[in-house]
Every structure is written in C-alpha cells, then in structure tokens.
C-alpha cells in the first residue's frame, strides 16, 4: 500500500507539473494573441525616436527659453523707461519748436547760449522713446515665436509628453529632462503591464487607439520647429535693451528749468 501511495503521489506531482507547464504555455499564447510583446516593442521604438528628436532640438529649446527670459527682462525695463518718460516726449517737441522759432537774442535773454546743444539734450527724450518702441517691436517678434513654441509643446503635454520646466518654471537641463522622460516611460510600462481584467483580442481600431498618442507625439516633436531658431533675434533685441539702459535722460532739475521758458 505504501508503494502504491508513493506511486500515486509521484503521478499527481508529475501531472501537476505538466498542468502548470500547459498553463504557462497558454498564458504565453494569450500574450501572443494580445500582441503584448509587439506593442511593447513598438512603444520602445517610438519613445526612442522621441528621445532622439528632443536631443536633436535641445539647443533650439534653449534658444526659445533664453528669449523668454530676455522678453521678460525687456518688458520690465520698458515699463521703467515709460514711467521715467511720462509726458516728456510731448514736452520735448514743444521745447524744440520753441527754440527753433526764437532768435539768438531771444534765447540769450533766457540764458540759453547754444541752441543746437540744448536741442540735442532735449532730443535724448525722443531717442529714449525710439529705443522703447524699437525694443517693443523686437520683443513682439520674439513673442510670436515663443507663443508658437509654447502652444505646440503645451499640446504635446496634453498628449502625454512630460513638461520641460522645473517646479520654479525654469527650463530643465537636458540630462534632468532625460531622467524625467525615462521615469515617465517606465511608469507607463509598469501601469500597462500591471493592468488587470480580461482583455479582448486586439483589433485594428484598438491597436490604433493604443498607439495613437505616441505616433502623434513622435511626429509633432520632430516638426515642432519649422525653422530652427537662432540667437540673431535675441542678440538684436539685447543690443537695443543695452542701449536703452545706458541712455541718459536730461537731468530732472534742468528739464524743469527748460519747461519754465514755455
């Protein structure tokens, strides 16, 4: 009886092992039918392409974010300059008209010895106004590029691409962004593999729905810049900003004394 019992145990163990092997084989076949492995491979290829596209255009992304910083600094400086000017440009035109319609003797009575030098000082006001208008125009041109870029990337974020910015809204380094992107891809893979529930056999529509976002991101990232940005606009605007910061308006006390002659 003991021998018979041992044989029965061996037979049961053998059958159990065979059943488990068959179950594993069935699971593998189910995975093949659900196309889990091909889908994972396609996702991996698409993400690799997205990684490469972002790496290729990272310098262009940096250009855009440096322009964003410059526009912000320029707008602050423009507002400061506008506050300093007030209604001085209108007053400057009146003063210039006054000086150009008076004789030398008339001006000497007002203690103005040099008409041209005095007008040149007054024209500093108009020069500052020109600097402001010129810088505003250049900032508007940059802002158009910035808006197009940020709108495109915001749409990609809605589709699933992680943000480029840190918590304080600064551009991440390329290395830091690659880490963020890797973590995101890993989390997506984990979520996909750990999903439970009975899955239906894939159809063309379900495969398309599964990969649509990734195909979209891959295509749009590659074409996010129709023309690769350079620092030409940045340098041109920065030059105007530097000139505006260096420009000196007439001394306030001198200006008030000039207004008195009106």
What is the mean predicted confidence (pLDDT) over 1-29? Answer: 57
pLDDT, position 10: 61
pLDDT, position 188: 80
State the pLDDT confidence band at 29, using cuts at 50, 70 and 90: very low
Regarding predicted confidence, which is higher, 38 or 149?
149
What is the mean predicted confidence (pLDDT) over 225-230? Answer: 90
What is the mean predicted confidence (pLDDT) over 152-175? Answer: 93
Token pair 């890797």 in the structure block, residue:
182
Cβ atoms of 75 and 137 within 8 Å: the answer is no
The model's pLDDT over 90-107, given as tens digits with 9 standing for 90+, comes to 999 999 999 999 999 999
Regarding predicted confidence, which is higher, 203 or 35?
35
> DSSP letter at 228?
-
Minimum mean pLDDT among 62-71, 105-114, 155-164, 211-220: which range?
211-220
Q: Of 107, 123, 100, 101, which Cα lies nearest the Cα of 255?
A: 123
């Amino acid at each position: 009886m003991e021998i018979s019992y041992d044989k029965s145990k061996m037979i049961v163990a053998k059958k159990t092992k065979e059943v488990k092997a068959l179950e594993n084989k069935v699971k593998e076949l189910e995975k093949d039918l659900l196309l889990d492995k091909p889908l994972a491979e396609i996702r991996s290829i698409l993400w690799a392409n997205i990684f490469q596209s972002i790496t290729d255009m990272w310098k262009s992304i940096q250009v855009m974010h440096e322009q964003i910083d410059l526009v912000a600094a320029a707008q602050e400086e423009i507002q400061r300059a506008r506050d300093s000017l007030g209604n001085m440009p209108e007053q400057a035109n009146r003063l210039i008209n006054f000086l150009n319609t008076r004789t030398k003797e008339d001006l000497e009575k007002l203690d103005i010895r040099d008409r041209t030098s005095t007008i040149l000082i007054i024209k500093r006001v108009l020069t500052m106004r020109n600097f402001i208008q010129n810088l505003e125009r250049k900032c508007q041109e940059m802002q158009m590029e910035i808006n197009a870029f940020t709108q495109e990337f915001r749409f990609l974020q809605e589709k699933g691409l992680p943000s480029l910015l840190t918590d304080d809204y600064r551009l991440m380094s390329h290395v830091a962004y690659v880490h963020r992107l890797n973590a995101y891809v890993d989390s997506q893979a984990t979520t996909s593999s750990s999903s439970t529930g009975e899955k239906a056999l894939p159809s063309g529509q379900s495969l398309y729905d599964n990969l649509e976002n990734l195909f979209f991101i891959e295509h749009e990232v590659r074409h996010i810049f129709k023309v690769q940005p350079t620092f030409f606009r940045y340098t041109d605007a920065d030059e105007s900003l530097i000139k505006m910061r260096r420009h000196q308006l007439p001394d306030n006390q001198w200006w008030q004394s000039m207004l008195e002659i009106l």
